[in-house]
Structure 1
Amino acid sequence: MGLSWQQGPLAAGAVGRFLVPGPLPQRMLFAEPLRRRMRVRFGERWIADSKEAVLLHEPGRYPVAYFPPSDITADVLQRTEHTTRHRDLGRTSWYTVRAGDRVKERAAWQHTDLPEHAQVLRDRVAFAWPAMDAFYEEDERIVGHAADAYHRIDIRRTSRHLVVHDADQVIAETKHPVVLYESGFAPRWYVPRTDVDGAALHPVEGQTFCPYKGLASYYDIAGARRAAWSYENAWAEVRRISGMVSFEPDEIDVRLDGVRQSLETGQTVVSHGVDRNLDLSEAPSRPAHLG
């Protein structure tokens, strides 16, 4: 999922490898100019507005935007006595964020003892995503976490023969599925509803949120729990899979051109990073535009 998360090239579980003669460091951090205007909303105010943010990619975490102090509203940051130590970037000081009547403790941080090779982050401040009201790129709200420019989704039509069985019962059969290729993941096969036995799908409580696709709903199939899912109202970028159904090959018999599918490297979804959870309350049917 992008550059440093899930099975990306800088992640611990990378499915590929760099073709170099010697071993790479176990951890590699990558920082780059965001090259997009990013704004932070808190307490009904814009507290940061920058065209010069730097995005940090760190193994096992979502990308994090760091803002130059000159692009942060004066007096919203109050340094606290709380410090921590980042394993690669040294001592980290934490801030309380205050805007009007709104106050969040330990809602922003700054690395204050950076090694020489990480000076691109010098004096810059990052805001804790769940502590803020909203983040925007240009005039569109970004939900979940900062967008990873290296995360890509491609959807392709195919004429391959896909059959899903539960024992002797055919749950789905199609010769026109679509396949979704997503950075860091094995392919996922989506079946049109007209080719699925809807009576076999039993909706269950609980949804998950993908910042790139939207809200996923799940189904039990007989004794197979959460064996299928669907993005009922997928976001515009992946609208082609809206309402289609995908099946979990480790929970139910999925055969593609006669070959039974199995759980592959890169197919297990890690639902959130070590730095934060993804809250369903962050996932409106579409990210809000500025009015």
Structure 2
Amino acid sequence: MLYVERLRRRMRVLFGGVWVAESEDVLLLFEPARYPVAYFPESDISAHVLERTEKITQHPDLGSTSWYTVRVGEQHVAARGAWQHTKLPAHATELQGRLAFAWRAMDAFYEEDERILGHAADPYHRIDIRQSSRHLVVRYNDRVVADTRHPLGLYESGFAPRWYVPRDDIHESSLTAVKLQTFCPYKGLCSYYSIGDARQAAWSYTDAYPEVRRIANLVSFEPDIVSVFLDDVQLHLEPGQTVVPHGPDRNLDVAELERAPGGGPEMIAGG
């Protein structure tokens, strides 16, 4: 389903040390299999930061899309840093006169004075965590990697359950840390492990956000890479369990994840 909904929170966009957009009238666009995208009224975007380019693309549902360079002075330039749907069909007129900023191209997005990482937050996204006594066993080839009767089930909107295992129930020597890190706006920074020659077969939120602190430093295993059995039934990754990134800032380092303090730069004059 393609739909928009009012965010009902002040959102600001930081680029080049200044707020290039600030609005209490942001709309979130929800598209199938994509992260939500924030659209700002033209009137709430700073003057002189947008330069229209010759680039025009076609959105399958929203028509022609014009692209903009975002510029702050001579040092801070984001080519194709923003876009606007210019020939909207009748079912999408709510987006008339609004622009979206490419998440990775900007320095940061804020709701009030708190930085929002990864992508615009989905107000309908929910995570429930439940303690279980079910028997979970993880095998790779003929080796038992994990064996627990104390897994935690993580139930996330739109996704199949993920099972997290305490470190005490894992043969730690089986896990080899890899350099890859990704970021989830709801759980935090995620680290990955290989098991033998099975790359990225497991992951852990070693310092999970307070809202999901119960899974902090526990490990979950990818059932399509290693064999995961729950009460002797082998699990498999269900179809439709991926989303198409639409500009999320993946592979953030630890410094990028630090929450900035309140306050901050001013809007550009004329914004």
- Shorter-chain TM-score: which interval? 0.7 to 0.9
Q: Which residue of 2 aligns with 1:216?
A: 190
| SS of corresponding position for 2:212 | helix
For residue 72 of structure 1, report the CA deviation from its aligned partner: 1.2
Amino acid in the other structure paired with 1:210? C
| SS of corresponding position for 1:144 | coil
Structure 2 distance, partners of 1:198, 1:264, is 27
> Unaligned stretches of 5+ in structure 1?
1-9, 11-28
Structure 1 distance, partners of 2:127, 2:221, is 18
Quickly say closer, same or farther: Cα 1:41–1:244, change in 2 above 3 A: same
Q: Structure 1 length as normaliser, TM-score?
A: 0.81
Q: Which residue of 2 aligns with 1:52?
A: 25
1:87 aligned residue (35, 40, 60):
60
For residue 201 of structure 1, report the CA deviation from its aligned partner: 1.7
Q: Which residue of 2 aligns with 1:36?
A: 9
* Higher normalized contact order (CA 8 Å, seq sep 6+, divided by chain length): 2
Q: Which residue of 1 aligns with 2:266?
A: none
Quickly say closer, same or farther: Cα 1:156–1:284, change in 2 above 3 A: farther
Q: Which has the higher strand share?
A: 2
| SS of corresponding position for 2:214 | helix
For residue 207 of structure 1, report the CA deviation from its aligned partner: 2.3
Structure 1 distance, partners of 2:6, 2:211, is 24
Q: Which residue of 2 aligns with 1:244?
A: 218
| SS of corresponding position for 1:131 | coil
Q: Is the 8 A contact 2:20 2:49 kept in 1?
A: yes
Residues 82-121 of structure 1: pairs in structure 2 closer than 5 A: 82-101=55-74, 102-121=76-95
Quickly say closer, same or farther: Cα 1:114–1:236, change in 2 above 3 A: same
For residue 282 of structure 1, report the CA deviation from its aligned partner: 6.3
> Unaligned stretches of 5+ in structure 2?
263-271
Instruction: Give the fraction of aligned pairs with identical amino acids, expressed as a percent.
Output: 61
Amino acid in the other structure paired with 1:188? R
Q: Structure 2 length as normaliser, TM-score?
A: 0.87
Q: Which residue of 1 aligns with 2:50?
A: 77
Tell me which moved more, 277-286 or 164-173: 277-286
Structure 1 distance, partners of 2:86, 2:193, is 48
For residue 172 of structure 1, report the CA deviation from its aligned partner: 1.7
Number of residues of Structure 1 aligned to a counterpart in Structure 2: 261
**1:195 is aligned to 2:174:** no
Residues 210-289 of structure 1: pairs in structure 2 closer than 5 A: 210-267=184-241, 269-270=242-243, 272-273=244-245, 275-276=246-247, 278-281=249-252, 284=255, 286-289=257-260
Quickly say closer, same or farther: Cα 1:214–1:284, change in 2 above 3 A: farther
Q: Which residue of 1 aligns with 2:35?
A: 62
Amino acid in the other structure paired with 1:99? V
Structure 2 distance, partners of 1:104, 1:90, is 23
